[in-house]
Structure 1
Amino acid sequence: MESVKLDDVDKGIIGALQADGRRPYSRIAADLDVSESVVRYRAQKLEQAGVLQVVGIADPLRIGFDRMALIGLKVRPGSVGDVCAAVTAFPETSYVVAIAGSFDVLVEVVCRDTAHFTELLTQRLHQVDGVVSAESFLVLEIHKMAYGWGVGHVETTIND
């Protein structure tokens, strides 16, 4: 992956949108002392470069999904990329990463219920070519789900 150089304006835009993805460009521009068109152009460029994505994040356990889990996969040597590609295609996966440590791949999944989770794990994940074993970690409660890292703290107010 290619690293992107960010200046203070880019970091300010990212930080503001991480704090509040619906924050108007005009307010971000005022805070950064640049024009609204600069903010709009920079945000568009950051999105096109794959640096920034503005989305609504919901707590799956509060909107009808009953099972969320992290699954550590051990895979056959040389197959990490293929396993990640296959697992990424499952609609239940929200996070798939190749890692170093006891596991080779870490997967976050969100399922409707225990039956759905069981089917995903035993009928699909275990069947992916290259998967040697899987260990599941069921999420009981989400205490923090944050995506505001990397560019520093951004002050926000209720009236903003």
Structure 2
Amino acid sequence: MPDYKLDDIDRRIVQALQADGRMSNQDLAQKVGLSPSPCARRVRLLEEAGIIEGYVALVNQDKLGLPVSVFASIKLERQREEELDRFGTAVSRWPEVADCYLMTGPRDYLLRIIVADLAAYERFLKDKLTRLDNIASIETSFALGQVKRSFAVPVTLAK
């Protein structure tokens, strides 16, 4: 599908749904200044264009007994495409890995790992991460606290 150009109403729709994905179409239409039918059509077009990828429930990891966020910087021995793909496939299967980014700079990957405690991270490290081939080094940092958490994309900056 060709690039979808957002107008001001589209931006308001995306912002509103990022704030409350369970908002009814009636409430959304009122909030963005449309009648319900055109609003529903625009939401469907935003979904079809891939701008809205889906809807999720935000979960409090602390209340689930998973208070520890670990950031692991991974350096691979080789950065060939098949090695990068193999690493990405492996970490994509592990539920502890919340986020994984291919990076520029001295490290190849940055992972955010969610676990219950230090012992759980040690098990993850020993049983999963260190068993992958091609890992040259792993540097780990533990988050002491969360200053900001956002899943919203800054729609107002979009072209």
Cα distance between partner residues in 1 of 2:37 and 2:119: 50
Alignment of 1:67-146 (within 5 A): 67-75=68-76, 76-78=78-80, 79-146=83-150
CA positional deviation for 1:60: 1.4
Identity of aligned residues (%): 28
Alignment length (residue pairs):
152
**TM-score (normalised: structure 2):** 0.82
Give how far 1:45 is off.
Answer: 4.0
- 4+ residue runs of structure 1 moved beyond 3 angstroms? 2-5, 44-50
Partner of 1:5: 5
Cα gap change, 1:133 to 1:38, in 2 (>3 Å): farther
Q: How far, CA to CA, are the matches of 1:141 and 1:49 in structure 2?
A: 36
Q: Which residue of 1 aligns with 2:62?
A: 61
Once the two structures are TM-superposed, the CA of residue 5 in structure 1 deviates from its matched residue by 3.4
Distance in 1 between the 2:139 and 2:116 partners?
A: 19
Name stretches of at least 5 consecutive residues in structure 2 with no aligned partner: none
Shift of 1:120: 0.8
Corresponding residue of 1:157? none
Q: Which region of structure 1 is more displaced relative to structure 2, 7-16 or 68-77?
A: 7-16
C-alpha contact 1:97 1:106 (8 A) present in aligned 2: yes
Superposed CA RMSD = 2.2
Q: Which SS does the other structure have where 2:5 is aligned?
A: coil
